[in-house]
Structure 1
Amino acid sequence: MDRKGSAIRIKKCAYDLLSIWDLIEEDQESWELVVRDLRLRSTFLYCDFNKLISSSSPDQKQALTDLANKLFSYIEQLAGALRTRSVDQTQNLYNDTVHVLEEVVALVS
């Protein structure tokens, strides 16, 4: 049950992160809010990925760990681009993050 709950929360959080581009596009004033939201969601994702990885079979653990590391790396880079207010870099990193989030959704579904 715990594993299933973590997978559901990961999927919901991924979908929420996929929709943040609307806030980013609105205006740069909302970017600080997006950075805070990324930080909060990455904390929940970390906890849920930790539960999911620890309850997975040994052959799934490495794939989940690699995917989680990749996701957190992109989220961190995206937050950095938002802090520097670099529009081009933010858009590129958001697009990269979307691909990883789609992988996450596919893996936990």
Structure 2
Amino acid sequence: MAIASSRGDKAMDDMATKGCVFRIKSCAFDLLSMEEDLINEDIDDVWWEIISRDLRLKSTFMYCDLSHVISSSCDEQKRNLTDLGSMLFHYIEKLGNAVKSKDITSAQICHSDVSLALQELMAALIPAH
């Protein structure tokens, strides 16, 4: 019975990891599409607040899901995903600071950095899961 339970636990963990990867992809798409919001130079204070909240929400989901994916990955993938995740969240923090200061030029530059880091992370995630 323990073997069957172990197989069931493995299948549930695999399903949870696939769900996390799906959510990461979804959040990545949302963050990439945020560029359209940063093009408009007539952004008011309410819009900046919405962008800031959305950025925090998406990055929180990504952090939790990426943590789960990393913990269920093989050792060689763990290091790569950890490095890519660290780089991504560094750029997301910079983007958050630019949004908080309502600096559209810096926000656009930081968003470009986030986009590149997301592409690298997604390239590493997709073949692995």
What's the TM-score bracket when you normalise by the shorter of the two chains? over 0.9
* 1:63 aligned onto 2:80: yes
Q: For 1:15-94, what aligned pairs fall within 5 Å after superposition?
A: 15-26=29-40, 27-29=42-44, 30-94=47-111
Q: Which has the larger radius of gyration?
A: 2
State whether residues 98 and 107 of structure 2, in contact with CA within 8 Å, keep that contact through their aligned partners in structure 1.
yes
Percent identity of the aligned residues? 44
Q: Give me the CA root mean square deviation.
A: 1.1
Q: TM-score, normalized by length of structure 2?
A: 0.80
Q: TM-score, normalized by length of structure 1?
A: 0.93
Count of residue correspondences: 109
Q: 1:6 aligns with which of 14, 20, 24?
A: 20
In structure 1, the gaps of 5 or more residues are none
Following TM superposition, the consecutive aligned residue runs of length 4 or more in structure 1 with deviations greater than 4 angstroms are none
* 1:106 aligned onto 2:118: no
In structure 2, the gaps of 5 or more residues are 1-14
CA shift at 1:105, angstroms? 1.9
